Amino acid sequence: MKPFQLIDKSTGGSIKNDILSGLTVALALVPEAVAFAFVAGISPIVGLYGAFMMGLVTSIFGGRPGMISGATGAMAVVMVHLVSEGNTLGGSDSMGLQYLFAALLLTGIIQIFAGLFRLGKFVRMIPYPVMMGFVNGLAIVIFISQLGMFKSQGEWLQGVSLYTMMGLVAITMLIMIFLPMLTKKIPAALTAIVVVSMVVIFGELETETVRSFIVANGGEGIKAGLPSFQFPLISLSLETLFFITPYALILAAIGLIESLMTLNLIDELTDSHGSGNRECVAQGTGNLVNGLFGGMGGCAMIGQSIINIKSGGRGRLSGITASLALLFFILFGSNYIEQVPIAALVGVMFMVVIGTFAWSSFKVWNKVPKADVVVIVLVTLLTVLFDLAIAVLAGVVVSSLVFAWENAKRIRARKRIDEHGVKHYEIYGPLFFGCIELFNSKFDPKNDPDEVVIDFKESRIVDQSAIECVNKLTERYLKNGKNIHLRHLSPDCVKLIEKAEKICDVNVLEDPDYFVAIDNFRQAQLEGLASSS
């Protein structure tokens, strides 16, 4: 594990870039946190507190410098059901929030244990088509969420209001496209937000701002004090535990999957390597802190992480700056940040959508196996229609089944009879549950000679299904009064096939590295022969 480094110069990080990119991210975090708080059915300040605490903890202790965490839509859609049912269970409109805080405590504990037991490595087993489907689906979800900004009091904008909004979004996007062509020393996203804000303020244009957006959604602004410690005000009982546990498990799974997959994506963008297990612990600690200090929790945010990386943020300082700047906005800068046009932030997020979507998936459409194309489309659709956890799980299951099916067809058996009349079956390919039927079809117990050798030099016995298959095949030969011998079993295969050791026989002279003892007497004989020679 690398020691704590505020700035990692090995990845091209610098204090200036990290601070400027952090400020850019902080501006983008405000409307996102507010919007996701409304999705979850809670106060905007709870969402802002959640983004601040989640971002600060993971920036300091996380396993991926430069990655941004905060309140997310993937977790918010689960929280809304938790809050609603909590209000009903507690008999008060405020009790749902307390149940949310309690669930976040359990979520944090689950995620911390996932890191301590080193479960973060399993995200490396997620197939690339699943990753492509994930980023495509997430890009679509982000795009759809921004379309809601083109509404006012539930009605779509029309006329001058719509044209003004679209024009400001276009200006934001154009600045972000062409400014990097002139210079990369100035963060394009931050520049675009400042320029568009000036256009609106000095041009006295009528358009939605952060403040008007909050007020329109029932809030009173973003100014508040520091978050304070308060243990969830609920009864500690089995009923409470049974109620929050399913939600905590879902929140933990979604949080870790989205965080670890975002970590992988940032690894690719920066050509570096983060620590998945360390990130699990940091994510869990962040949610634990949120549960104790009144935040909505969250996980890694792919959109803001990409904004940070594209703006030059590489080290922990960028995430710390974003979190502290967000807190500053909450405490002191609310009057200024509330004047930022929603259109500028929408434009930034549209550029994130363009940068997030895996456009290469269209180029490989006719160049990769059809099964991979199906997985990409499946994960994309499920991410949009349901949630990330379901989409990734379905993608991994389908990919695994396809892999098992393809490998099941690879089992081969070359047959020959030597000068002593012994029939040899030389097996090629792994023997596992998927190819049992095909493996059995290679043998002919009734018509084979009395001595049969199955050679696994180019094969492996992988699982319990394979062991049972070998046992049953042996029984078939024994019923026909014939002997069967297994040879060239690797050490791991030997361990798996201990149940069948009485029917295994390996010639120690031909195969000195791998052998299976038939019984103690036979083993002593072999050792005696070896010592005498």
Q: What is the pTM of this model?
A: 0.71
Supply 449's token pair.
């000679």
The pLDDT tens digits of the residues spanning 333-373 come to 777 778 889 898 888 888 878 887 888 888 888 888 889 99
For residue 512, what pLDDT is reported?
Answer: 39
Q: Which of 262, 312, 268, 307 is nearest to 12 (CA)?
A: 312
In the chain, CATH 3.30.750.24 covers 412-532
Residue 53 has pLDDT above 70, yes or no: yes
The pLDDT tens digits of the residues spanning 461-489 come to 888 888 888 888 888 998 998 888 888 87
For residue 237, what pLDDT is reported?
Answer: 87
For residue 425, what pLDDT is reported?
Answer: 94
What's the angle, vertex CA 455, arms to CA 454 and CA 461, rounded to 5?
90
Name which of 7-11, 117-121, 255-259 the model is least confident about: 7-11
**Residues above pLDDT 90, as percent of the chain:** 34
The pLDDT tens digits of the residues spanning 179-189 come to 988 887 777 88
Taking the C-alpha atoms of residue 79 and residue 176, their distance in angstroms, rounded to an integer, is 34
Place 426 in a pLDDT band, splitting at 50, 70 and 90.
very high
Supply 324's token pair.
């502290």
For residue 525, what pLDDT is reported?
Answer: 40
Place 170 in a pLDDT band, splitting at 50, 70 and 90.
very high
| Domain 412-532: which CATH number of 3.40.50.300, 3.90.1150.10, 3.10.180.10, 3.30.750.24 | 3.30.750.24
Between 121 and 113, the more confident residue is 113
Residue bearing tokens 């180029």: 363
Residue 317 has pLDDT above 50, yes or no: yes
For residue 533, what pLDDT is reported?
Answer: 42
Is residue 441 within 8 Å of 450, Cβ to Cβ? no
For residue 67, what pLDDT is reported?
Answer: 94
Taking the C-alpha atoms of residue 312 and residue 315, their distance in angstroms, rounded to an integer, is 9
